Structures are given as structure tokens and as C-alpha cells.
Amino acid sequence: MAYRFFGKRVPFRHRMWARDDLTGHRYHARNMAWRVLAPVIPFMVIMVPFTVWGTMTSGVDPWGYEYTLGFAPKIVETLVQSFLIMAITWWPVTLNNFGEGRRVELLARHDFHPDGRPVHWEK
């Protein structure tokens, strides 16, 4: 995860894997999916107890349709709102430094030229 999210350098024995990942087909799609979708599930798991507790303490049935827009139960509506807050705050932060420059930077960090050739490795 440190490699995917923060661009940390992998150990030497995994360098060829990193090179294959960085120069492989659909690298940008994999990177985008990891950066956008990976935080969604933990965030939602953390938010479910808070949304249930928040609606119950305010006297509203979490699975009821009162005080909603009428499309979904209150808990679903609250989770969608939480998801939108995450999308507005997390995704712009995680999508900066994204693209071809990031790929070239990670290749250089792992001792590769931009085309994937090793710079110089000593045993």
C-alpha cells in the first residue's frame, strides 16, 4: 500500500515487479482505481455506526423514510452524503501528482529509465 498510495520504493527483489507495473498496459487505470476506490470501503465501514447512532440519537428511525428526500431510507441517504463529503475532500488530495510525470518519477525512484531499462544495478 505504501507503494500504491505514497510511491515508496520497493525492496530490490521486487524492482522488476514495480517496473512491470509501471510500464505495463493500463497502469494509469490501475493507479486511478487504487487511489479513488480503495479508501471507499474502509470509509463506509467506519461511517455506518456513526450514521446509525446519529440518526437514532436524533429520534429518527435509521431505516425509515421520515425526514428524507423520499428516495431511500435515512441511513442510506446519510451514507450517500458522507460519501459525497469524502469525494469532495479526499479525491482532490489523492489525485494530485497523477499522470505520466508520476510514472516517470516512480521509475527513476526504482532505478529505471523512463522507457523501463535499468539504470545500473550492482549485485
pLDDT of residue 31: 80
Out of 20-24, 40-44, 80-84, which region has the weakest mean confidence (pLDDT)?
40-44
Neighbours of 67 (CB within 10 A): 12
Helix axes 15-23, 27-37, angle to 10 degrees: 100
Which of 47, 82, 76 has its CA nearest to residue 64? 76
17 is written with which cell numbers?
515487479
pLDDT-based confidence at 93, cuts 50/70/90? Answer: low
Is residue 123 pLDDT above 60, yes or no?
no
Helix locations, the chain, DSSP H:
2-6, 15-23, 27-37, 40-57, 74-94, 100-109
Per-residue pLDDT, 112: 92
